[in-house]
Amino acid sequence: MLSYRHGFHAGNFADVLKHTVLVHILEYMKQKDKALRIVDTHAGAGVYKLNGPQAQKNREFDTGIGPLWNCSDAPPAIAKYLEAVRAVNEQGQLQIYPGSPLLMQTLMRSQDRLFLHELHPNDFQFLRDCMRDDKHVKVLNEDGFAGLQALLPPPDRRALVLLDPSYEVKNDYQHLVKQVIQAHNRFQTGTFAIWYPVVLRQRIDEMELALKKSGITNIQLMEFGLLPDNPEHGMTSSGMIVINPPWTLWSAMEETLPWLVEQLSEDQAGFYRLEQLVAEK
């Protein structure tokens, strides 16, 4: 079942947090010269037109990148993210929103390699067009979880993995945890960034518990919601769980998360969480 199309959600509040965290981690990892293997298990179409029919349907970017676009006093992690989004928009107008593949392609260095997985046939074609035969990027029309296992451990012992499934079926939450544990067993020092939506809080509680019990150490969680939990409102908040985060991520999020609540949640009804789920060894 592949009914999810990221184009309807591009640039929403969940993308803002996910891509801010992603940019922060990538910039940190680039401080060492050694080549990075970057893996996106669920890549989407790569880039989205915000004036196109999908993005215009619910205009989710109006409570995401939209109100932040002209900010000049954002916390440093958001400023870096905005710089990356601005780099793919010409003439200072917010017209296109870069998905994780385009953000990473824009920011990676010549020694790095990017592996993108996308199963949806249309989005796979868009993604291929977006990457324009870049010889540093591999675009695969394959299951991202299976692809990930085959790519670990990386030759240079450095990897950043984004796991961003669409959670279309209930079982996806458990499946993701199993796949993360397997990938971590293959490469324990990799940085794994997992995105999750909060639709039913219980599913996230279970996912956190499974990760806590997994034996994996050094796990941080950062979450930001527009509204308190309410199973009747669809996705009210979303977060990132990062295994082996850069040491700088925590303080960056201490500044970023309250600022996001202030900027994006109406009447300050939102909230955030920043937690060390499992301590470093």
CB-side neighbour CA atoms (13 Å) of 236: 16
For the question of residue 164 being annotated catalytic, the response is yes
Q: Is residue 65 within a helix (H) or strand (E), and if so which, with residue range?
A: helix 65-68
The answer to whether the CB of 111 falls within 8 A of the CB of 65 is no
Q: Does 118 bind ligand SAM (CB under 6 A)?
A: yes
Q: How far is the CB of 141 from ligand SAM (least distance, A)?
A: 9
Stretch that binds ligand SAM, among 65-73, 84-92, 162-170, 200-208 (CB under 6 A): 162-170
Which DSSP symbol is given to 234?
S
Of positions 35, 88, 94, 119, contacts ligand SAM by CB under 6 A = 119
Beta strands in the chain (DSSP E): 37-40, 47-49, 96-98, 113-117, 137-140, 159-163, 191-198, 219-225, 237-243, 271-278
Name the residue nearer to ligand SAM (CB basis): 199 or 278. Answer: 199
Q: How far is the CB of 60 from ligand SAM (least distance, A)?
A: 13
- Distance between CA atoms of 120 and 137, rounded to whole angstroms? 18
Tally of CB atoms within 10 A around 126: 18
Tell me which of 129, 134, 164, 205 is the catalytic residue. 164
State which residue has the least CB distance to ligand SAM. Answer: 99
Size of the site for ligand SAM (CB under 6 A): 20
Residues in a beta bridge with 197: 238
Q: Does 143 bind ligand SAM (CB under 6 A)?
A: yes
User: Which residues ranging from 192 to 221 are in contact with ligand SAM (CB under 6 A)?
Assistant: none
Find all residues with CB under 8 Å of 105, minimum gap 6, and list them: 114, 131, 134, 136, 137
Q: Does 184 bind ligand SAM (CB under 6 A)?
A: no
Q: Which two tokens stand for residue 69?
A: 């676009």
Stretch that binds ligand SAM, among 77-85, 160-168, 183-191, 251-259 (CB under 6 A): 160-168
Q: Does 44 bind ligand SAM (CB under 6 A)?
A: yes
Q: How far is the CB of 210 from ligand SAM (least distance, A)?
A: 19
Stretch that binds ligand SAM, among 41-49, 68-76, 234-242, 261-269 (CB under 6 A): 41-49
Distance of CA 106 to the CA centre of its chain: 15
Q: How far is the CB of 33 from ligand SAM (least distance, A)?
A: 27
- Distance between CA atoms of 5 and 187, rounded to whole angstroms? 31
Q: Does 99 bind ligand SAM (CB under 6 A)?
A: yes
Task: Report the interface residues with ligand SAM, using CB under 6 A.
Answer: 2, 4, 6, 18, 40, 42-44, 99-100, 117-120, 123, 143-144, 164-166
Residues acting as catalytic residues: 164
